[in-house]
Chain A
Amino acid sequence: DVKVTQSSRYLVKRTGEKVFLECVQDMDHENMFWYRQDPGLGLRLIYFSYDVKMKEKGDIPEGYSVSREKKERFSLILESASTNQTSMYLCASSTGTEAFFGQGTRLTVV
């Protein structure tokens, strides 16, 4: 059974903190993605990676960075968390067709 695991279901962080969201997949997929989900806005792409050490900006990369040191792990980093980054964050992986999503991390920045 395919699996994308996000390290936390819920996180509460303070404004200005550096925040790490971790994602691990066990399907040996090349492609990994970070999306942000907000009511009425759907899923918006933050960053993606098609290979280890490779990263590409998505539609809303400002305030975020990513790290992919190993094929199975893709981390999203909020360099200095702000309240407008309060959201649901979804990690996904794919071979090129179907994308498999993790269950999401609901981040609240206070």
Chain B
Amino acid sequence: KAGVTQTPRYLIKTRGQQVTLSCSPISGHRSVSWYQQTPGQGLQFLFEYFSETQRNKGNFPGRFSGRQFSNSRSEMNVSTLELGDSALYLCASSFRGDNEQFFGPGTRLTVL
């Protein structure tokens, strides 16, 4: 069974730009969660989607948004990038959300 895939793996953007990250979950999994990992704040929950509906959202500004498609693939978007958005963005795939979550390799975003 293929694992969780994330594209792109690396991104370099400048302040003010916007970015879209993609996550393809494990086949059959309907829940996709997104996390931000930084050295200072650690791993923080962004949001979770289940069957195209956002079920939970973390404490991030509205510049961070996401969506999920009917095939369970998910995208997250960050608009008006700030230097502090530089981080490793991880997505996790789960059958129903509240059980085992399997992570992808992450997208390393650098904002200059």
- Decide whether A and B are members of one complex: no
A-to-B contact residues, CB < 8 Å: none
B-to-A contact residues, CB < 8 Å: none
